[in-house]
Structure 1
Amino acid sequence: MQALLDAIARMQLPTDAQRIFHGRGGMHPGCEQWTLDAYPPVFVLTSFLPAGDETEAQLLAIGTALARRWETLAPGQPLNWVFQCRNEALRTQGRTETRLMAGSVPEPHVVTEQGSQFKLHVLRGQNHGLFLDMAEGRRWVRAFAAARSADRYGLKVLNLFAYTCAFSVVALQAGARQVVNVDMGHGAIAIGQQNHQLNGIRTGASFLAHDIFSSWGKITRSGPYGLVIVDPPSYQKGSFVATKDYARLMRRLPDLLAPGGHALLCLNAPELGVDFLHDQMRELAPELVFVERVANPVAFADVDEGRALKVLVYQLPELAGSSALPAQPPI
């Protein structure tokens, strides 16, 4: 646990939401169970092992380290931190054990990332409203949209498995003309709408609380798209299982993309390496050309990049004789 305590002692005052310590990456032997995230003004400590007799002593040591560092970084300000246990037995039941350890959590709880604002809920559920490991993916989308903001008809984006629509927020802020957000979670989509309002985005986004696999007709009719974002859960019983369902998404990409358009494919399944995506793309959507793998945030360094989050960019070739994305007529 010493590596975690050392990270706390070195941390700077967090302003944006960010990971402070990533034991899950295996870079700190003996600390694999721990992660520490900053969702200013709240810290969230997570353990991925069952709570044992030693847990309370560990929490006391961690709490003491946080309090000591916080007094240096923000003298006189209250320390707010939450502990969540996500051991395998609880996770398979879709449950977590969450405790407010000190201070309070603001309501609403709004954090920032690269100038964007997002609403969170750290005291319930496993997913807090913003996946910190996807920060570089959002940065890539922001840059991609900005580079195409002057296109004749603007960039149209399809955001599949949109969750709370963070990709949509950054794309529209960067100049995308339209984003179609699709997710079967009504609650997540509702928070996504609030995220757009938080950022002053009043137009350009549509929200479909639909099962993607039952909505291809509507999704296709709204295309073609200059960018398709695919960020599904790796395993969600009754909804999506990557090993069998990712192929169903890949087959659709050539029909969804405009010539010259890009697809951002995301996969957070440690047991599936990058070849899982490459091999299926070659078989199911050979028209698309691999462009790059987006690097993960430095804070999420992993001893095995094959187990880490995979964010891959593919492109549908432009039409013969064309040097740019073809114009997308307004709908």
Structure 2
Amino acid sequence: MKIKLKKQASKKMMAGYPLVIEGDLVKSQDQLKTKEWHEFVTDTGQFIGTGYIGKQNKGIGWMVAQEETKMDAEFFTRLFLKAGEKREGFEHNELTNAYRLFNGEGDGLGGMTVDRYGEYAVVSWYNETIYTFKPMLIESLMAAFPMIKGIYEKNRFEQVGLPETQHIAGLEAPEPLMVKENGVTYATYLNEGMMTGIFLDQKNVRRRLADGLASGLDILNTFSYTGAFSVAAAMGGAASTVSVDLAKRSLEKTKEMFEVNQLSLDNNRIVVMDIFDYIRYANRKSLTYDMVILDPPGFARNKKRTFSVVKNYGELVAEVTPLIRPDGYLIASTNVANLPYDKFKEMVEEGIHSEGRRFKKVEEHRLPSDFVTASTFKEGNYLKVLIYQIF
């Protein structure tokens, strides 16, 4: 089926922009329900590219190829091989064996990602249409990466009866599966919900912590999940860490992360508490730290409060700033794609300034090199991490 695009959308797509939104199409609603490969054409019928319609949070479809080509196993094997070539540095890195192997539209196929955990892979599907191509895509993936012994999937779209995670090919991974990143060991679980125990997009920040940014410092890690930042900081010589997360599972998961790295819990506390309650507690007790790490979820709610990164990040920064000692550090992070970098920076700096503190930005980090992004799709570079020294 040929799908016509409006003039403005045609110009964008011809320039390499891969995402299709509903307002781009000259269409009937029935076209949104098709699960097959399509040709995108201008309103006059000129060929633009080949892709598919598949609704997800970003839009309603993706352009995959700008040339006329057959969307078969051979095409996708070549696409995966090309992605692998970009990551040869990771393939031969003895200190890191967990990284993104294929990053959706950044590597030429929006709607799916592939993460490598040692000899295993986790494929994430983001819309129902891409999932219907699964047999061919998994065949191509295994052909391109024979070193992968087993594959799991995460289904990040709603479909009745479809498990959110499952093993789909090859061998099953041990639980926990130990992986390495910059010489630090992390315990991961590939078939335990949507998350595996570590967010691979933060590898550069963890590397800085492990390389000595946190050396000799007392660290407060908020929204700590499994404590990966804390473990990296401890491996990098931190004097102490406090990991705070509301989820009860965080206690055992974080303990495990320290234990697999032979790190004592004597100077590494784990607190199961709502982070906003902990901030109030720390302020009452006049607790202070040399570094505070803020990496909250995009949205959170408890009985007393609703938090949104887009609306409330600056307020959160203002609340934690009194906990930071003079000359200490704030690591402010978010993965919310619809919050522009400049706006995020403004919110963070206003939050610090509101507490009467001076500051200097000392580092910033975006997505690491394995999270390949397309120059024509800047919103794909969603991660924003700012490191400030506060006086």
Code of the residue aligned with 1:216 in structure 2: it is I
Shift of 1:170: 1.0
Question: 1:17·1:38 contact (CA, 8 Å) conserved in 2?
Answer: yes
More strand by share: 2
Shift of 1:306: 7.8
Question: 1:33·1:47 contact (CA, 8 Å) conserved in 2?
Answer: yes
Call closer, same or farther: CA 1:5–1:283 in 2, change over 3 Å. Answer: closer
Aligned partner of 2:323 among 256, 263, 276? 256
Aligned partner of 2:311 among 234, 239, 244? 244
Aligned partner of 2:243 among 157, 160, 181? 181
Structure 2 residue 111 is the aligned partner of structure 1 residue 33: yes
Question: Equivalences for 1:162-181 in 2 at 5 Å?
Answer: 162-181=224-243
Shift of 1:176: 0.7
- Return the alpha-carbon distance in structure 2 between the equivalents of residues 284 and 68 of structure 1: 50
- Return the alpha-carbon distance in structure 2 between the equivalents of residues 131 and 207 of structure 1: 19
Task: Give 3-state SS (helix, strand or coil) of 1:208's partner.
Answer: strand
Name which of structure 1's ranges 125-134 and 103-112 shifts more when overlaid on structure 2: 103-112
Structure 2 residue 147 is the aligned partner of structure 1 residue 80: no
Q: Which one has the largest radius of gyration?
A: 2
Structure 2 residue 204 is the aligned partner of structure 1 residue 136: yes
Question: 2:112·2:125 contact (CA, 8 Å) conserved in 1?
Answer: yes
Q: Structure 1: state its 5+ residue gaps.
A: 318-331
Call closer, same or farther: CA 1:63–1:8 in 2, change over 3 Å. Answer: farther
Shift of 1:300: 1.4
Structure 2 residue 334 is the aligned partner of structure 1 residue 267: yes
Q: Deviations over 1:111-154 (max 9, x none)?
A: 111111111121121111100000011112223436xx3xxxx3
Q: Which residue of 2 aligns with 1:17?
A: 98
Question: Equivalences for 1:84-103 in 2 at 5 Å?
Answer: 84-87=154-157, 89=158, 96-103=164-171
Q: Deviations over 1:39-72 (max 9, x none)?
A: 112111111112x4x745x33333333433454x
Which TM-score applies when normalising by structure 1?
0.80
Structure 2 residue 301 is the aligned partner of structure 1 residue 301: no
- Return the alpha-carbon distance in structure 1 between the equivalents of residues 253 and 307 of structure 2: 21
Shift of 1:214: 1.4
Question: 2:246·2:274 contact (CA, 8 Å) conserved in 1?
Answer: yes
Q: Which residue of 2 aligns with 1:316?
A: 390
Q: Deviations over 1:171-205 (max 9, x none)?
A: 11111110011100110232011100110001320
Shift of 1:247: 2.8
Which TM-score applies when normalising by structure 2?
0.69
Shift of 1:157: 0.5
- Matched-pair identity in %: 26
Shift of 1:296: 2.3
Aligned partner of 1:223 among 262, 280, 287? 287
Code of the residue aligned with 1:59 in structure 2: it is K
Code of the residue aligned with 1:80 in structure 2: it is G
Q: Which residue of 1 aligns with 2:274?
A: 211
Task: Give 3-state SS (helix, strand or coil) of 2:238's partner.
Answer: coil
Name which of structure 1's ranges 183-192 and 95-104 shifts more when overlaid on structure 2: 95-104
Q: Which has the higher contact order (CA 8 A, sep 6+)?
A: 1
Question: 2:121·2:151 contact (CA, 8 Å) conserved in 1?
Answer: yes
- Return the alpha-carbon distance in structure 2 between the equivalents of residues 283 and 171 of structure 1: 27
Code of the residue aligned with 1:183 in structure 2: it is D
- Return the alpha-carbon distance in structure 1 between the equivalents of residues 100 and 380 of structure 2: 20
- Return the alpha-carbon distance in structure 2 between the equivalents of residues 68 and 41 of structure 1: 14
- Return the alpha-carbon distance in structure 2 between the equivalents of residues 279 and 9 of structure 1: 37
Q: Which residue of 1 aligns with 2:41?
A: none
Q: Which residue of 1 aligns with 2:139?
A: 64
Q: Deviations over 1:205-253 (max 9, x none)?
A: 0011000111224334373211110011112454642133323321123
Question: 2:81·2:144 contact (CA, 8 Å) conserved in 1?
Answer: no
Call closer, same or farther: CA 1:9–1:209 in 2, change over 3 Å. Answer: closer
- Return the alpha-carbon distance in structure 1 between the equivalents of residues 141 and 248 of structure 2: 36
Call closer, same or farther: CA 1:67–1:28 in 2, change over 3 Å. Answer: closer
- Return the alpha-carbon distance in structure 1 between the equivalents of residues 286 and 380 of structure 2: 35
Q: Which residue of 2 aligns with 1:46?
A: 124
Shift of 1:292: 2.7
Task: Give 3-state SS (helix, strand or coil) of 2:179's partner.
Answer: strand
Structure 2 residue 255 is the aligned partner of structure 1 residue 193: yes
Q: Structure 2: state its 5+ residue gaps.
A: 1-63, 65-75
Code of the residue aligned with 2:139 in structure 1: it is T
Call closer, same or farther: CA 1:300–1:70 in 2, change over 3 Å. Answer: closer
* Pairwise CA RMSD: 2.5
Name which of structure 1's ranges 277-286 and 6-15 shifts more when overlaid on structure 2: 6-15
Aligned partner of 1:155 among 217, 235, 240? 217
Call closer, same or farther: CA 1:7–1:204 in 2, change over 3 Å. Answer: farther
Call closer, same or farther: CA 1:86–1:249 in 2, change over 3 Å. Answer: same
Shift of 1:313: 0.9
Call closer, same or farther: CA 1:102–1:281 in 2, change over 3 Å. Answer: same
